Amino acid sequence: MKGRFAICLCLAATAACAGAEPRAPWSGSRVKGSPEPPPPYVAAPVFETLELSEVLEIVPHDGSVVVLENRGRVWCFENHPRDPGPPFLMADLKVKHPALDHLYGIAFHPRWRENRQVFVTYTVGAKIADGTRLSRFLLDENDPPRLVLESEQVLLTWLSGGHNGAHLQFGPDGMLYISTGDAEAPAPPDLLNTGQDNSDLLSAILRIDVDPTGPALPYRIPPDNPFVGKSGVRPEIWAFGFRNPWKMSFDSRGRLWCGDVGWELWEMIHLVTRGSNHGWSALEGPQPIKLETLSALAPVTAPVAAHPHTEAASITGGYVYEGKKLPALRGACIYGDYETGKIWALWHDGGKVTRHEEIADTPHRIVSFGLLPDGELVYAHWDKTAAFFELVPNPETGRAEEFPRRLNGTGIFQNTAAQTLAPGVYEFDVAEPVWQDGLEARRFIALPGAGAVASTIQRRADGTVQRASTQWPADSVLVKTLINESRPVETQLLHYDGAHWQGYSYAWNEAGTDAELVPAEGAQKQLHGRAHAYPARAECMRCHTPWTGHALAFCPQQLAPGAGADVLRADDALRLGLVNAEFFETSSARLAGADDAPLEDRARAWLHANCAHCHRLHGGGSVAFKANIELELDAMEMLDGAPLRGDFGLPGARIVAPGRPWASTLIARIAQGGPGHMPLIGAREVDTRGLDLLWRWIESLPAPAGREEGDTDFAAALKQALADGTRDSWNKLVNDQPERALVLARLLDADGVLRLAFMESTHHLDAHPNAFIAALFERFMPPEKRRVRLGAAPDSAAILALKGDPARGAALLSPFGALASCLACHRHRDHGISIGPDLTHVGARLTREQLLESLLQPSKTIAPEYRAHSLVTAGGEVRTCFVVNGTDPEVTVKLLTGETLTYAREGIQLTPLPASLMPEGLLQSLSAQEAADLLEYLASRK
């Protein structure tokens, strides 16, 4: 490997990789537990003797427990958590419906003993108009009973898709409540625009009376449903504005709780009331998404809890606990997250949240909570082999953790300063290293004792892999040290404690003798004029997810093939017993690391290493394309795909425009610096090697039929102009055209002489009014001349401590300044539109602290006169506005165009919006000094 410390070229611990020495056990580990206080509760298994698969629902029934398997089977067993006995098959719906692919919900009629009725929801495929079904079945007279499949009566159907909801609960009023999703894939958001459209049954909670039946419907619409008689609105709707309502429940006070799986930023818990609107897809929690779609039927009700994707990624609604085993949790709504395994407790007094805390951190994919007949709470872990758990008090609560605060105390190194490994710790090599802003990396694996990573394979009849799983020994540690010019900067640990993985960073001291544990929230330091970010612990787990197998480097796809001379490779790992043979069979895909490998293979390897942790199925990337190496090219959803997050003004832009890299937003994202740069997490500098690989690969792809003539004229003209020596007029060469800028940046990367001439010239392209063009060229400036941006988590105290320059702050708000977009809503120095507050005297109203808070958290405090409203006219026209004068009998409003209109109050409907129209993240592309300059200027406007 390149860039290794010279003194560490021959390590005793890794020398065994090249020879025949036996493996040394790692016996000195002190990486155990966690630096965080242990949570108050842990998961304990229940119903362990059951052998069920992919359980999606748990409900109590007649003193027993009923569970649903995803593929159609309904099971019943006794409520004995230690020994439930053999399960009884109540039904296999796939016998009646071979196309059934998901069995979602079951609810027994409150008077089931009398009428023998039970209600079930299931789907029979995706994108079928009546593919999601609510059906009524009868139970036979046996004990326990079976569902009589021939008795099925379909009550309701709706469009099936990625988000189906389909949970069932009988309310205390005897009505049946049914959840529905938006029937779409994760991206783009709400493609059908159904979240706020109530002409169908999607994105809603429905309420029906299943007792009376008539000639028109096999159920009755309760007359007190909120939208009965409303034109164009389905009367079954009780509440709406949900993306994928995943599990709902009633508490003993009759309150309806619901978890709603978010899109890109937030996961929500809602208290649902009659006629309430929960925002999707006008909003995702507090974040505006499609405000123009906002319904006039009801104002948006904010969630009672909204979790950012740093701590939750697929919420599962739960139940208000009213059992006896855990008295401290009585009255709390207990819910969890499928992806992170975290569990929270929330207390609500009917008006506000009075207490909210994380109570457990599990390794489980929490797919459903359930109440047992005795009122105790359990949850199901999603797996081919399902498992059930309850919460119990953590015996470690209050015990002081001894997690090493210094790298020297981990037991990984014999000599920390020299990075000499302890016996049993091995350095390994990868095929395609992830880009780390030019830092070199060394990677190590440490398995306690003689433990091994063990994979198991389930095969189909033809021998192909149907399913694979991998188990790591408890207290396994994966290590990566980042090195800058032969000096260590950061050492990252990924620790498996036997239940879940956690990431930690250690920051090296200037002497290079030891490293100290970085706080949970992360840290930042200057490294040769550039900011080096130590990630927050939660940020580590955004990439190291169950969907990636947690280990991104020590995996079959990445481990360098063959045997190594001084570092471990794939053959060495098997020979030393660090892994079993099946480990390498869990995936047949391999990354191409050799420079002479085919161009497409090398480009795909770079995409996998740098992008596939997010851009894969369930990875959380907001653009749907998938980058993992296992997929065929056509399955990546990127070739000729329409960009969903902006096109940067590139003509004919596509995610990947075959034959036209300058029209590809993939290239545009990777080539720019600043907030628009990808990858989003980790590195902030442009990887010119990776960019070159992708450019040449896209250029080699055959363009689709009908490609426009003259596509390459500007590229050829630009190259010719540079060859002719007309490089003094860089701005003229770009001509304010993003595609020209992209090609010029490419040429500068390839030609060091040209790049030097550009850096020494006066061109101002790095300060171009087009933010994308400026972001392309800022990276060619020396580090000391670049802005150190605030990023997504600015330090308010640090900004307020700086002395600002009001003149520079005023320039930021000019029509060509970095914050020129503010003039779209604010009036300033005879520029802009007067929609939001006029900035002329803003300093007389707000202190510097208040100004900064309003810029960083615009929705936290909204002045009444600037609370945006949705206006619905008598003619049904919907507009977003501010109320200027609300005195009866007339209302004067200001539209977002600045136009002021007056309406008769009786003829309109006004609904306040819960979030500010001012976007979040306005300051993240500024430096701390620029933010201080802005504050100084605004505070002076009195």
For residue range 462-477, list pLDDT tens digits in order.
Answer: 888 888 889 999 999 9
pLDDT beyond 90 at 572: yes
Band (pLDDT 50/70/90 cuts) for residue 583 is very high
pLDDT beyond 80 at 195: yes
Q: DSSP string spanning 816-877? A: TSTTGGGGGT--BTTBS-SSS--STTHHHH--HHHHHHHHH-TTTS--GGG-EEEEE-TT--
Q: What is the pLDDT of residue 894?
A: 82
In a domain, 165, yes or no: no
Q: Are residues 822 and 779 in the same domain?
A: no
Q: Are residues 799 and 937 in the same domain?
A: yes
Q: What is the pLDDT of residue 11?
A: 35
Q: What are phi and psi of 205, to 5 degrees?
A: -115, 125
Give the DSSP H/E element, type plus range, for residue 106.
strand 102-108
Structure tokens at 662: 């300058």
In a domain, 349, yes or no: yes
In a domain, 374, yes or no: yes
Q: Which residues of 704-742 are buried (b: 16+ CB within 10 A; e: fewer)?
A: eeeeeeebeebbeebeeebeeeebeebeebbeebbbbbb
Q: Residue 136 has what DSSP assignment? A: E
**Average pLDDT, rounded, for the chain:** 88
Least confident of 30-39, 484-493, 805-814: 805-814
Q: Measure the CA–CA gap between 553 and 576, rounded to whole angstroms.
A: 18
Structure tokens at 747: 């040429």
Q: Are residues 424 and 571 in the same domain?
A: yes
Task: Provide the residue range defining the domain that includes 383.
Answer: 37-52+311-400
In a domain, 259, yes or no: no
In a domain, 284, yes or no: no
CB-side neighbour CA atoms (13 Å) of 26: 30
Q: What are phi and psi of 627, to 5 degrees?
A: -115, -5
pLDDT beyond 60 at 343: yes
Q: Is 426 helix (H, G, I), strand (E, B) or coil?
A: strand
In the chain, how many domains are there? Answer: 6
Q: Measure the CA–CA gap between 61 and 144, rounded to whole angstroms.
A: 10
In a domain, 113, yes or no: no
CB pairs under 8 A, 24+ apart, for 496-499? 496/472, 496/550, 497/32, 497/33, 497/34, 498/474, 499/362, 499/363
Average pLDDT, integer, range 489-506? 93
Give the DSSP H/E element, type plus range, for residue 879.
strand 878-885
pLDDT beyond 90 at 924: no
Q: What is the pLDDT of residue 824?
A: 62
Reported as a single tens digit per residue, the pLDDT across 66-123 is: 999 999 999 999 999 999 999 999 999 999 999 999 999 999 999 999 999 999 999 9
Name the domain boundary from 374, 400, 426.
Answer: 400
Q: Are residues 887 and 831 in the same domain?
A: no
Nearest to 370 by CA among 358, 386, 351: 386
Q: Are residues 670 and 743 in the same domain?
A: no
Reported as a single tens digit per residue, the pLDDT across 373-409 is: 999 999 999 988 999 999 999 998 877 668 999 999 9
Least confident of 6-10, 57-61, 323-327, 908-912: 6-10
In a domain, 57, yes or no: no
Nearest to 649 by CA among 477, 471, 474, 769: 769
Residue type, 534: Y
Band (pLDDT 50/70/90 cuts) for residue 4 is very low
Reported as a single tens digit per residue, the pLDDT across 713-772 is: 667 777 777 777 666 678 888 888 899 999 999 999 988 888 888 887 767 787 777 778
Q: Measure the CA–CA gap between 440 and 62, rounded to whole angstroms.
A: 63
Least confident of 141-145, 335-339, 408-412, 708-712: 708-712
Q: What is the pLDDT of residue 878?
A: 64
In a domain, 638, yes or no: yes
Q: Are residues 543 and 686 in the same domain?
A: no
* Cβ atoms 825, 917 nearer than 8 A: yes
Written in H, E and C, the secondary structure of 278-311 is CCCCCEECCEECCHHHCCCCCCECCCCEEEECCC
Reported as a single tens digit per residue, the pLDDT across 771-829 is: 788 889 888 887 767 666 776 668 889 999 999 999 888 888 876 566 766 776 787 77
Q: Is 608 helix (H, G, I), strand (E, B) or coil?
A: helix
Strand partners, 258: 248, 270
Average pLDDT, integer, range 865-881? 77
pLDDT beyond 90 at 706: no
In terms of Cβ atoms closer than 10 Å to its own Cβ (0-12, 13-18, 19+), residue 512 is: middle
Q: Are residues 615 and 505 in the same domain?
A: no
Name the domain boundary from 590, 613, 630.
Answer: 590
Least confident of 524-533, 828-837, 855-864: 828-837
* Cβ atoms 658, 675 nearer than 8 A: no
Domain of 932, CATH number, reads: 1.10.760.10
* Cβ atoms 167, 178 nearer than 8 A: yes
Nearest to 502 by CA among 460, 545, 445, 444: 545
Q: Are residues 829 and 887 in the same domain?
A: no
Distant-in-sequence, close-in-space partners of 66: CB < 8 Å, separation ≥ 6? 58, 59, 60, 74, 75, 76, 90, 106
Strand partners, 505: 492
Rg, C-alpha atoms of the chain: 30
Reported as a single tens digit per residue, the pLDDT across 610-620 is: 999 888 876 65
Q: Are residues 428 and 482 in the same domain?
A: yes
pTM to 2 decimals? 0.68
Band (pLDDT 50/70/90 cuts) for residue 592 is very high
Q: Are residues 435 and 493 in the same domain?
A: yes
Nearest to 663 by CA among 700, 712, 595: 712
Q: Is 803 helix (H, G, I), strand (E, B) or coil?
A: coil
Q: Measure the CA–CA gap between 313 and 629, rounded to whole angstroms.
A: 23
Name the domain boundary from 537, 568, 590.
Answer: 590
Q: Residue 166 has what DSSP assignment? A: -
Strand partners, 477: 446, 495
Residue type, 426: Y
Average pLDDT, integer, range 300-326? 91
Q: Are residues 872 and 817 in the same domain?
A: no
Average pLDDT, integer, range 849-862? 87
Q: Measure the CA–CA gap between 509 and 488, rounded to whole angstroms.
A: 9
* DSSP E strand boundaries for 164-218: 168-170, 176-179, 204-208
**What is the bridge-based pairing of β-strands 868-872 and 878-885?**
antiparallel
Q: Measure the CA–CA gap between 410 and 480, rounded to whole angstroms.
A: 14
Band (pLDDT 50/70/90 cuts) for residue 20 is low
Least confident of 15-19, 76-80, 672-676: 15-19
Q: Are residues 497 and 637 in the same domain?
A: no
Average pLDDT, integer, range 180-197? 88
Q: DSSP string spanning 466-534? A: EEEEEEPPTTEEEEEEEEETTEEEEEEEEEE-SS-EEEEEEEEPTTSS-EEEPPTT-EEEEETTEEEEE
Reported as a single tens digit per residue, the pLDDT across 882-891 is: 888 877 788 9
